[in-house]
Structure 1
């Protein structure tokens, strides 16, 4: 794999009002790290790439979404190998972030006058980015390249999925050890950093909780020897408990699903449930969009007021009311009314009664004299809240169940059901606790984030919860990488098609379709 040997120069200047993005147009190694303000250029670059790295796994996100109809993703969701290969999924954006993080760690010794707190802040941002980057790669591609630093130029082989996860854990634990809680984060000028995209003890703990849960699940799913899944699940519980118990920061569940929707729909709001987000910075340009592609995929009337109910087919992903009635079987579940617009009313188009998404209520428009309404839809107005406290409760419940501690698993599950006004576990007909926790995660995060695909894999439900070819995968297919994205061609060839890395081979499952 080719790896960068010079500092990436950002082609645009990004506003500093949200994430303190202040990349310069040209810097060199001799002056790039002399002072903290110059060092912060690289820290800002890390966050720029972090804010844009989710495209690397968008194919898996679409494959896992709970939806009845799609505009153009049916072949992808059926896991047609040629469609997946032609999708062009690429991990370059993740490695951009990894390079910048390594660059900072390799050069921060050049910075004069850093206090221990400021040193920890910048290195903490870098270690969190490395942990998050390798987390994305391990879940999205399975095997990936683990680079030594930003300076060593050599041909890298692929590392195993477990090695990639362990490298992510190593960096995330270092981030957790040096970072303060989010309320104590400060900018270069000493101001408060309100965005939850900045790495803190809280989102480092959330990353570790998910990393250890993922590690345990791949040990079970792939039969990996040498480490035990139970140890990993216990570590996930430990980090989840640090968050829930307040040790990693002051987080709390929002009182009701309705209040949650209002907070999700206001990126400037102080959401006490929010742990880690990719920030939506509208000040970048008048066409800037949120990085929450999941919420955007379901967006339609009435949030998009340039549309009508009859335009339902323009939504990329759609849900029928009958599906929502099945998914939320309790009439008392407040998420029915909060997550969907006028749920008790019929919204019939071409003989189908649709559930109208209303979890994200606000949109951004621009004036458009050529449009009938005088407006053009730009984006829903929302951060990509990647992890919130409800996620941590349900992740801990999942790990407790896998550890055989059903009492504590039920308590965490029922904490979320209680907030929703839903019937406590076990509801009539419920007997599978692990499945009940999975379904609760579906209900809680529907139309909100990319968690469902990975929830399915962690629980081994890919043959029953995914579509098409997923249902026919053999054990050999799974071992050969069928549940991961194919290794992108950019890993072994340059833009002209010349092979530059002979040590990287495509995963066995995808080879016949190349």
Structure 2
């Protein structure tokens, strides 16, 4: 498949969005290019444009108002303060992590952008199969499969994330050419949401390849490994540990990935890394800048960004619980690579710290030129370890856990029991993925977030809250009910 940069191909997609922006009945789901449906899907370039638009929507959905890090990190207590922003005052222990109906939450309670992504994927899945082969310059059969397979993956990712964050998604898989007459649809269950993810990923796997025809596409376009990786994580939510292990094995055995060496650990986030399975392209270049000024900048301050004095400060208590020794001589390479100022009152995360300036001479307009890595090999090793532990295979669980620990420079763990091993795997997730938008969901998924015997359970999440759906976000009914009158609030938040 021909390589593309998002900005170049997204122009026509954005034109369609603006032309139809006023039509917002169905969960704000806009059929992205409805005004040109009859004449838009007529060439390979159009199909690639539509796919690029879907990737762009995913990036917007995850980064708007720092959503990816708010949902997956702030809620786990990884950060003690948030850039002086009053909108984050409830995301700490003293606020009991009470993120219900925050009046300044905005996008945190609104899944609209994810449904715009789903609508775009639905169009691709619906329109591309019928496009004339003569309109493709490459092999039309192979190219169509690659485009449609990626659309299935992106739709799966959207439903996976909606189900993690808000739960009970509205499942829409058809194209609505006239949303004004579309019938409202009620929310499904979490189980149905994850079942839809499995269905879409199964389709994606059947269409995609492990390899890339163009090396510049590595990791920034979904391939078969990305689909298997997300499938493994979905099966873990479903507590289907044998298929989760099998899906992880497909990535490990056939994906060709290796852990980034300890000496170059930060390369993971610099794009197209040997460990990265799926990432969103966000690098800075003077000619074609894909970096966004608010994606990672909030984690940093001087000396990493000139004149910036406030940041999302990491929580020392959580750091100490996870790493133990946080001195400069710590054996764990992640202490030095991921954090700065741990012996001060305001330590910061420097995992994303490749700062460039649009005006290099005056060092103004700072960008962090790193990609947003969503799936990587260390994640799949730890998923495989947990699946093995759940199946009673402690030796295999130890092996995969210790691959991650060895790279970090810490001693091997030798399991004495399944429960302690699960605790250790979850701690290792906290160490490895601190500030990567995921630890909270694993704590919630496993129930360890409220386990009184687990050292890193998060205060504010009691058993009643966890069992009642209080770990998922409320949806903003004030905005969303206008589009779908069948929507109901999440059970926990409806009564709190």
Interval of TM-score (by shorter of Structure 1 and Structure 2): 0.7 to 0.9
Q: Which moved more, 1:234-243 or 1:478-487?
A: 478-487
1:214 partnered with 2:214:
no
Distance 1:198 1:291 in 2: 23
- 8 Å CA contact retained: 1:76, 1:84: no
1:74 partnered with 2:55:
no
Q: Secondary structure at the residue paired with 1:76? A: coil
2:168 aligns with one of 108, 132, 143: 143
1:42 aligns with one of 16, 27, 50: 50
1:251 partnered with 2:257:
yes
CA offset digits 1:222-247 (Å, max 9, x no partner): xxxxxxxxxx11111111111111x2
CA offset digits 1:337-382 (Å, max 9, x no partner): 3323487xx5x4xxx3x545333331132339xxxx9333533221
Task: Count how many residue pairs are aligned between Structure 1 and Structure 2.
Answer: 445
Q: TM-score, normalised by structure 2?
A: 0.81
How many angstroms does 1:44 deviate by?
A: 1.6
CA offset digits 1:60-109 (Å, max 9, x no partner): 22212523444442313423254546512211111011000001111123
Q: Secondary structure at the residue paired with 1:52? A: helix
How many angstroms does 1:401 deviate by?
A: 1.1
Distance change >3 Å, CA 51–CA 285, structure 1 → 2: farther
Q: Which residue of 1 aligns with 2:19?
A: none
Distance 1:365 1:278 in 2: 21
- 8 Å CA contact retained: 2:231, 2:247: yes
Q: Secondary structure at the residue paired with 1:306? A: coil
1:318 partnered with 2:305:
no
1:510 partnered with 2:493:
yes
Distance 1:336 1:80 in 2: 29
Distance change >3 Å, CA 506–CA 358, structure 1 → 2: closer
Compute the RMSD of aligned alpha carbons: 3.0
2:158 aligns with one of 127, 133, 136: 133
Distance 1:508 1:339 in 2: 37
* Aligned 1:242-321 pairs, distance under 5 A: 242-245=250-253, 247=254, 249-256=255-262, 258-264=263-269, 266-267=270-271, 270-282=272-284, 289-290=291-292, 293=295, 295-307=296-308, 311=309, 314-320=310-316
CA offset digits 1:21-66 (Å, max 9, x no partner): 3431356122111121122221121111122121466542221252
How many angstroms does 1:250 deviate by?
A: 1.5
1:452 partnered with 2:435:
no
Distance 1:366 1:461 in 2: 44
Distance change >3 Å, CA 123–CA 424, structure 1 → 2: same
* Aligned 1:101-500 pairs, distance under 5 A: 101-113=121-133, 115-151=140-176, 153-184=182-213, 192-216=215-239, 232-245=240-253, 247=254, 249-256=255-262, 258-264=263-269, 266-267=270-271, 270-282=272-284, 289-290=291-292, 293=295, 295-307=296-308, 311=309, 314-320=310-316, 324-329=319-324, 331-341=330-340, 348=344, 352=345, 354-367=346-359, 374-426=362-414, 432-447=420-435, 449-463=436-450, 465=456, 467=458, 469-471=460-462, 473-474=463-464, 477-489=465-477, 492-494=480-482, 500=483
How many angstroms does 1:125 deviate by?
A: 1.4
Q: TM-score, normalised by structure 1?
A: 0.78
| Unmatched tracts of structure 2, length 5 or more | 17-32
Q: Which residue of 2 aligns with 1:12?
A: none
How many angstroms does 1:110 deviate by?
A: 3.5
Distance 1:503 1:356 in 2: 43
